[in-house]
Structure 1
């Protein structure tokens, strides 16, 4: 197709490359991961006023430098604004300035800092967000800046000329040229190459960027000259020769003979954009093998691979990742920077300051500079120690030097000076050191709590021993929360659920009761201004910015009450309850200065409405209820809850919908119980509005326990994922009748029914595929006030590791230990776990895992109400499995994305789960994954 055309548009879509960076910035606006800090040593003094005017001239010419990024009517757009720039004379460390993040919705993507009076002349730092610039942009950028600055010093404005096209024009062209069939073809090719690269020992490989460290090194001039000569001889390019050497080193360090390397390409595929300032680069996965015996043969193979792969260089890398589920696709990257150097005499060649982050596990950049050829090895310091950089660089230079001088010698004869690093030792799990003598008074109280709470749930036990496990005795997490609430009421001790569930024994609870603080009183926060939202609310606010996901974070409930229910009394009761709870009066907005979401609770409450639908047909009624259930809220202007009483022929239906930012599942039950109390004019408990915890839990143990597991699950999809995940859901159910035997086997391993069900699901999925290591999300309620209404649930992560052909008992033990680690980290924000394990996620699926598991108990609404199923249904995960203990057995309910699965597929999967549960009951000592399923 023809090239970009000048459209003169001030609002345009984002290019595919920009969209990826926008997503990262919106999720973490304070992160410097995509800052480009360009440090210039000025030859002489900086005229700050002239520099500011020169920058304004450059920004005026290049629209991308005066562009902000917004979400308008559900579409992410770039908005070209007036030229403005921040130029400050500062004294603080340049590294601090380099790491200051951008709010791309509110500020232009370029700022300038000046250091005056330096020993070797003044210094300037241009910090530009990567969304507006790449390496190939620098000659044009600095060429224009030099021209404009010289003109300002001479007393006149420079004529920088008009550009034939602007970056926004390119973005429109970029999207118009997207080829879905080419994407599908390339994704199928890459799916054949194994991923999960590890450099040395059992070091865990991970997707994405964490904290990073750089090691710079020189490539000897003679070696570089030989690289060029060999490239000409082989009719290849220096890029191919360097990548062949890098691939050999990576292959040796990983003991892998086939893998993918992410080649960072300029992606300027049309002449009209070659000199344009903007972000064009793309990552192109290249297949590397270490099978050809000589270096020359490696180069020839890579030359063919590189030539063929360049056909796909316009395919957005994130789209490829989305089409290859369960795979990070590339862990190591490579770039050759050979663009022309900016030409000016006013300042030295710019140095790109480190931002302390890493975009790949390991990235090698080779760059031609005025001082010679320089390599930079950037690596993730959360995966590999500091010595990786120097050792890997030394191996690369040694092998490259030897290979380019003897390209036809067998590579097996080339020894490396270093070798892989040793793997880290796993972190030890925390234990409780308790006296093994007879029960203390706190332990006797703990044992009585065990007995009383379990008895209320229908589980009769004698006095439990001090090492008795709450789950083994028949408890579950909701019962545990109720027990700790009882401990608060009866003994005045505040016990955090996560502290107990990390080791749910009588002895542990006794120790926590002994050390617990006095009972906390209900908290009502003052109305003196905005307060920070919780980490969960921050995450949900961000997801509400994504149009396709907004409805997934609504919590609708439809209850049918019989015909003799008084409508006026019910409406008054609903209004009373909605007005009492501060969380339901919340309004949320982004504080741009503080870069965080804040909330206020001083606005008017929502009020219930009444609609007479007694003459409507079923279709009209269903459409109306669906609209009430799934219409998103304007979180800044509306109360995040709505209620309507819909009159039907057989009674009245209460449709209650709230945003997940202000309610969880227990909150809905609290609200309905209080509505019933208000109908009967019973006193209501004082409203509670707890402040978010000021503490910050340590994520290191949890991250260490989860690292290395795939951040996707091989599910039996009937259709491929879309670029943005669907939330349209459906449900299927199955029942496992032999619940008593299932509980008994789980109890022997110290597992709850919920944990055993998660293990069974993992085994069922493993028997269908080759995957043997799974991450499942599951909910954890941190509520400490039983009558509070709010969002107290955090998302935890459970690992089901089935590697090594374990028996069922070994699987249950592994799952139990994983749950203990998760409970100990119950206060760690889910976003922090995602940031450590899966930061480079895309919108095609949920973060970290597409599977969610939960436990529930049977519950009936008050006032003789009946809970009605939701139709349509919105789901957050691709598969959400809930286990409920009923009189008929264990009811398994699968909510699933209807766009991905056929009904029969889920029916068959649930049948597999019940078959596997039966195998656990009958043969707990047999290998869990021994048999294959359909």
Structure 2
């Protein structure tokens, strides 16, 4: 791939390296974990005005130093702004200044503090967030600062020259260069190496950012010289020699003979970025083995691993972590820093002050300079004792000194001066032992389904007991649906998800498998005559009669493909797929004799159109896409779906919009997957249509469980409701505290724990203690069916009586079981029983909707684009998504009722309340009030 090119963009995506740092800053803006505090002493007195102007000149040259970071409709972007920086004279301790966090959304990622009048000269602390700088940036940064300061004190305007590219250009190039096949291959290789590295004396790890301790040490000059000589003799680099010694120490302290060490690399893969300030570093996991008897053999073997790993040096570390089960991929890090020192006579060499936070469990940094070799051993003091750093450093220096002077001697003969603080114990694999004796044959099949599906998420279950709970073992609702689809394929038994989720145990699934009726596949014969619409379709048809609500029940999807996608092939594939599914040929009308809505599927299918928009400006394109997304259908005469392929200068955009009467979210994915299959020349499965609705369901248990609950929810409205609710929406997104572990302990899904946290948040901000939330439930029984299979269920969160968090989770879990058992009860029937006097000013029964999402990318190298504008059905729609990095909350809300700041404040409160749950699940849930 050619290198980055100058785009002159003021808004750009984040690089892969930056994205992880942005997430951490968004979750905890006050954290200093990725501060880079550069402390140096002036040789004389600082001219504050000249320093300020010089810094502005440097920031003007390097755009990354004047960049802020935003979340725009779920997309992280960097925004290049004007040059600005504070230069403040202070008197407090430099460590205090070094540990002050940045708000990357509003503040420049650089600030300057000056201490005047010190006996040894003025001192300066330049604190930069790591998202804008790395170690390899310092020579360019301080070189430019020195030149600009010299010019300013001489009365000249600084002339720092122009850069061939800026960091935003690198970020675009970086993201375009991701090779999915290379990523998958590397992830597969690393998955063979056990993770979970623990050194002697490990303690349990709390959630959140961890405190660190740094131990500084010096490598004797003769040892440094011997390292270079041995490297030349073995035809390896000093990096390999130092890493081999470090790996031997780690191996002995962990009692492991194979593990991964994360090598921190400069990752400046193109000459255009060599003199650019920015954050380029990547962590490359290296397989380290301690099976070879001599140090020379270890170095030779590690040379091959290091050389092979260079193939993957541009594979983003976080992308590898996303595919690794468990807490992380590497626990131990290593970095060799041999960058040229910033050259100036005006100040001393900058010293990087500690920030007190740990990035790895243990990290060794070796600095190789003309003045000698020094080291920093940083470790997590929430995990290991404070003295670990000193003892590890002493062991490293001792072993390195021995190894480079006797590289052919067996390493086992050398004893470390310290050794582990405590003898490491083998780490047991998390298993679940049988509790209820022998399983029946259906229960054994159920247990095997549990094991197989959970293994896909990295959870190892030896043999689940009869009473083992799917959620407690680490499952979630979407995984359960996949497991039941697998049960249908492998055992021919149809199990309704609602029946299993009401009691998600091995015993219950075994009973359902035993009772499951083996059914033939749903009929594929095309419908011709009028058929009764489903209860959900009837409700949507009547809502379509209300002009203000018509667009709310459209399901638009916008996908951007690369410019080289075959447009003709894509259009033909869309036409094939839209014509195959009976639901997409539906027409709806009111049968006055039957007094109900009926549908036919004999009408002509929709066909894709192609529009050449290569000469359009952004405003015209946005208006056109919005019209395609939100123009209502004439359900009596039009096919309830439309598709258009829009040709752009650098890409191809497809807009697919269908009415909710004929598709749900899963159906859209089926359609996109089948379009891709046709493009690739693959055969499609026979189209299916849903079976008729079943017999009426007993509602007595559900209505009894919901009796007495209020049919409205307090929300922090900025404006009053109108007589007819608006559907104009907006969205906000944030990462939140990971609730999965505490949910699992309580037998809850992540979705239910999130609903509980939302209820507690609203209770802490109001006097309300009893809530009803709407949530979606899919009755889909066939994975390839296209239709509207989702019913709306009602979840009660009863917080009366000052319950503890565990009591709240138990109540919500019980309420969900009741809802799942009544999953076939039409939502309108529940509304009619509980909220007969509803009006159009707000949604029926509750204004709050809660859902679970998952990460998904469309085929054909497509990218989902955010919708703008967006339509909402509820006043607040909160979706929790399990991502590779944790949990993400997305709030869609009525823009006529709420200001953006109000929702951001609410999401921040939800995150704070989630943290309270994680920190003390046995504490009171609603005791503390929120402002």
TM-score, normalized by length of structure 2?
0.53
Alpha-carbon deviation of 1:694? 2.8
Would you say the 8 A contact 2:524–2:686 is kept in 1?
A: no
Provide the rounded CA distance (Å) in 2 between the counterparts of 1:572 and 1:526. 22
Provide the rounded CA distance (Å) in 1 between the counterparts of 2:462 and 2:908. 37
Question: SS state of the match for residue 764, structure 2?
Answer: helix
How do 1:541-690 and structure 2 match up within 5 A? 541-690=541-690
**Equivalent position to 1:759, from 735, 756, 759:** 756
Identify the residue that residue 490 of structure 1 maps to in structure 2: 490
Alpha-carbon deviation of 1:519? 3.5
Would you say the 8 A contact 1:697–1:825 is kept in 2?
A: yes
Alpha-carbon deviation of 1:520? 3.0
Would you say the 8 A contact 2:436–2:467 is kept in 1?
A: no
Identify the residue that residue 837 of structure 1 maps to in structure 2: 834
Would you say the 8 A contact 1:611–1:647 is kept in 2?
A: yes
Question: SS state of the match for residue 691, structure 2?
Answer: coil
Alpha-carbon deviation of 1:464? 1.5
Alpha-carbon deviation of 1:511? 0.3
Identify the residue that residue 701 of structure 1 maps to in structure 2: 701
| Number of aligned residues | 497
Would you say the 8 A contact 1:494–1:520 is kept in 2?
A: no
Would you say the 8 A contact 1:606–1:641 is kept in 2?
A: yes
Identify the residue that residue 768 of structure 2 maps to in structure 1: 771
TM-score, normalized by length of structure 1?
0.53
Provide the rounded CA distance (Å) in 2 between the counterparts of 1:690 and 1:629. 26
Identify the residue that residue 470 of structure 1 maps to in structure 2: 470
Provide the rounded CA distance (Å) in 2 between the counterparts of 1:808 and 1:871. 38
**Equivalent position to 1:793, from 790, 810, 835:** 790
**Equivalent position to 1:896, from 868, 893, 896:** 893
> Is 1:524–2:524 an aligned residue pair?
yes
Provide the rounded CA distance (Å) in 2 between the counterparts of 1:657 and 1:459. 38
Would you say the 8 A contact 1:767–1:931 is kept in 2?
A: yes
Provide the rounded CA distance (Å) in 1 between the counterparts of 2:725 and 2:486. 41
Provide the rounded CA distance (Å) in 2 between the counterparts of 1:527 and 1:781. 23
Alpha-carbon deviation of 1:478? 1.6
Identify the residue that residue 62 of structure 2 maps to in structure 1: none
How do 1:193-212 and structure 2 match up within 5 A? none
Provide the rounded CA distance (Å) in 2 between the counterparts of 1:588 and 1:457. 42
CA deviations 1:465-496 (Å, max 9, x no partner) are: 11111122222222111111111110010111
Alpha-carbon deviation of 1:691? 2.5
Would you say the 8 A contact 1:775–1:797 is kept in 2?
A: yes
Identify the residue that residue 801 of structure 2 maps to in structure 1: 804
Would you say the 8 A contact 1:524–1:690 is kept in 2?
A: no
**Equivalent position to 2:862, from 840, 865, 868:** 865
Gaps spanning 5+ residues in structure 1: where? 1-434
CA deviations 1:545-597 (Å, max 9, x no partner) are: 11100000000000000011010000000000000000000000111100111
Gaps spanning 5+ residues in structure 2: where? 1-434
Provide the rounded CA distance (Å) in 2 between the counterparts of 1:536 and 1:565. 37
- Change beyond 3 A, Cα 1:448–1:834: same
Provide the rounded CA distance (Å) in 2 between the counterparts of 1:662 and 1:735. 32
How do 1:132-147 and structure 2 match up within 5 A? none
> Is 1:920–2:899 an aligned residue pair?
no
CA deviations 1:698-734 (Å, max 9, x no partner) are: 1111111011111000000000000000000000111
Provide the rounded CA distance (Å) in 2 between the counterparts of 1:827 and 1:758. 21
Would you say the 8 A contact 1:522–1:686 is kept in 2?
A: no
Would you say the 8 A contact 2:758–2:910 is kept in 1?
A: yes
Alpha-carbon deviation of 1:497? 1.2
Question: SS state of the match for residue 891, structure 1?
Answer: strand
CA deviations 1:427-453 (Å, max 9, x no partner) are: xxxxxxxx9552111111111111111
Would you say the 8 A contact 2:537–2:661 is kept in 1?
A: yes
> Is 1:825–2:826 an aligned residue pair?
no
Provide the rounded CA distance (Å) in 2 between the counterparts of 1:630 and 1:904. 26
Question: SS state of the match for residue 878, structure 2?
Answer: strand
Would you say the 8 A contact 1:489–1:519 is kept in 2?
A: no
Alpha-carbon deviation of 1:743? 1.4
Provide the rounded CA distance (Å) in 2 between the counterparts of 1:857 and 1:527. 33
Would you say the 8 A contact 1:852–1:879 is kept in 2?
A: yes
RMSD across aligned C-alpha pairs, in angstroms?
Answer: 1.1
Identify the residue that residue 711 of structure 1 maps to in structure 2: 711
Identify the residue that residue 856 of structure 1 maps to in structure 2: 853
Alpha-carbon deviation of 1:918? 0.3
Alpha-carbon deviation of 1:457? 3.2
Identify the residue that residue 902 of structure 2 maps to in structure 1: 905
Question: SS state of the match for residue 558, structure 2?
Answer: strand
- Change beyond 3 A, Cα 1:785–1:466: same
CA deviations 1:275-301 (Å, max 9, x no partner) are: xxxxxxxxxxxxxxxxxxxxxxxxxxx
Provide the rounded CA distance (Å) in 2 between the counterparts of 1:505 and 1:925. 25
CA deviations 1:8-27 (Å, max 9, x no partner) are: xxxxxxxxxxxxxxxxxxxx
Would you say the 8 A contact 2:614–2:648 is kept in 1?
A: yes
